[in-house]
Amino acid sequence: MRSLFPDRHAAVRYCSVAAALLLLIISAGCTQSSTGSTWTANGIQVTHPDDSHITVAFVGAEGMDSLVEMEITFTDSNGKSITRSKGSRLGTTPIPIHATESMTGSYGGKNHVLVIGYFSDGSERVLVDRDI
C-alpha cells in the first residue's frame, strides 16, 4: 500500500502545520477584545480603556450629519443593562462631533454595546452592536 507522504519526516511536518493551523483557528474564535481597545464604525467610536470604563463617542462620518440622538445600551458581563441617550430624537439639532457618553462600572470580562441612531428625517438604524 502506498503512503500519502513520501517519507516519515514529511508526515510529521504536515501534521505539525495542520495542528498549528487548528490551534490558530480555535484561539481566534475564543478571544475577546481586551481592555485598552478602541473600535470605530458608522461614525461611532467605542473605547474600553480599563475594567471600569466604556466610552461611546460620535466621531462623525459621511451621511451622519443628520444624527439627532444616540440611544446607547451598555450590558456588562453579569447581564446588567443600562440605557442612556445623547441628543433627542424629538429635536432637530444634530449631535455635535465628539459628543461622548461614558459609563463607569464593572466592565471586566465580556461586555456588549448597542447604539441605535435616530435621524432628523425620522429614520433609525443600528450603528453599533458589538461585544467588547
Mean pLDDT, consecutive 10-residue segments, the chain of 132 residues? 59 58 44 67 94 94 94 93 94 93 89 96 95 90
pTM of the model: 0.71
Integer-rounded Cα Rg, in Å, for the chain is: 22
Q: Which of 50, 93, 76, 67 is nearest to 58 (CA)?
A: 67
- On the 0-12 / 13-18 / 19+ scale of CB atoms within 10 A, 16 is exposed
Question: What is the reported pLDDT for 13?
Answer: 66
**Other CB atoms closer than 10 Å to residue 87's CB: what's the count?**
20
Q: In whole angstroms, give the CA distance from residue 41 to residue 78.
A: 26
Residue 61 is which amino acid? A
